[in-house]
Amino acid sequence: MLTFLVIVQVLFSIGLIALTAVTTTKSEQGGSGFGWGTIGGKTSTSIAGLEDQLERVTMYVSVAFLIISSLVGIVGLRS
């Protein structure tokens, strides 16, 4: 059980890192929408609503990571 939870925790952490990497910051507003800023002096347009969806998915993945990490700690103490 603990091994399964640790594998799920690692998957959620990789997903959280990837989502954080592609999210634009406030200083990158008007960038590409993927955290790349300007490319060749031009900013590429972002898909409408993509940043809102990424923010929502990032929130869900972070909450899931918190819950899984708590479960790993609880199950690890019992072992």
pLDDT per position as a tens digit, 1-12: 999 999 999 999
Amino acid 60: pLDDT: 96
Q: What is the pLDDT of residue 57?
A: 94
d(CA 74, CA 29): 41
For the cut 60, the answer to whether the pLDDT of residue 53 exceeds it is: yes
SS (H, E, C) 11-63: HHHHHHHHHHHHCCCHHHCCCCCCCCCEECCEECCCCCCHHHHHHHHHHHHHH
The whole domain housing 25 covers 2-78
pTM of the model: 0.71
Tens of pLDDT, residue by residue over 57-70, are: 999 999 999 999 99
- How much is the pLDDT for 26? 63
Q: How many domains does the chain have?
A: 1
